[in-house]
Amino acid sequence: IVLGSNLFYLESISLLAETLHVEQFYAKRHQLIFETMLEMYDTGDPIEGVLLLSKLREQGEFTSDEDSQYLLLLAENASSVKSIDYYTKIIADAANLRRVIEACKDITELSFANTDLPTVLGLAEQRFYDISNGKQNVQLHRLGAVAKEEINRLTEMEKDETGKFAPIKVGISDFDNFL
């Protein structure tokens, strides 16, 4: 319902982008759809069924006729913008319940591994505190690895002879010459 509404109501994607994260969708296909919609929103592409399906297929996803039908079904079941907040809350609450289950699983494993009580209680307290305050389990990356990737990308841009990274001329000579 929430994903399908983005195909009809342009303002709903901005609401969802502020409220939900890709990981909060349970179904992998919903994560792919939402992530692709966010990418389209970020690049200024219109979010409509044919373009969405095309982008998903470029990623090697949604290649069957059933997948096309699924997107159509999402659009058919779309709700109005007024009810987006309600359905967004349902998604967020379900995601938090899954996080509670995961935290309980981790705490249970530590308990059965005879981890000392203060460590188990500290972890439990921290995990439930994070969930209740809406903190997401964000995967962090080491700064060195990110810097190395960026240096490699910049080096590739500098050595490029194919024109893949050529600047776009804007028609202002001082600016174009600077590039």
Instruction: Give 51-84 pLDDT, tens digit per residue.
Output: 888 888 888 888 888 877 887 777 776 655 567 7
In whole angstroms, how far apart are CA 120 and each of 72, 111, 133, 168?
A: 47, 7, 20, 56
- Would the CA dihedral through 154, 155, 156, 160 be positive or negative? positive
Contact 64, 56 (CB under 8 A): no
Q: What burial class does residue 34 get, using C-beta atoms within 10 Å of its C-beta: 0-12 exposed, 13-18 middle, 19+ buried? A: buried
Q: Which residue, 98, 123, 96, 94, is CA-closest to 108?
A: 123
The C-alpha atoms of residue 18 and residue 37 are separated, in whole angstroms, by 13
Angle at 41 between CA 35 and CA 42, to 5 degrees: 90
Instruction: Give 145-168 pLDDT, tens digit per residue.
Output: 677 778 888 888 788 888 777 777
Contact 78, 8 (CB under 8 A): yes
pTM assigned to the model = 0.53
- Between residues 133 and 117, which one has the greater pLDDT? 117
Q: Is the pLDDT of residue 104 over 90?
A: yes
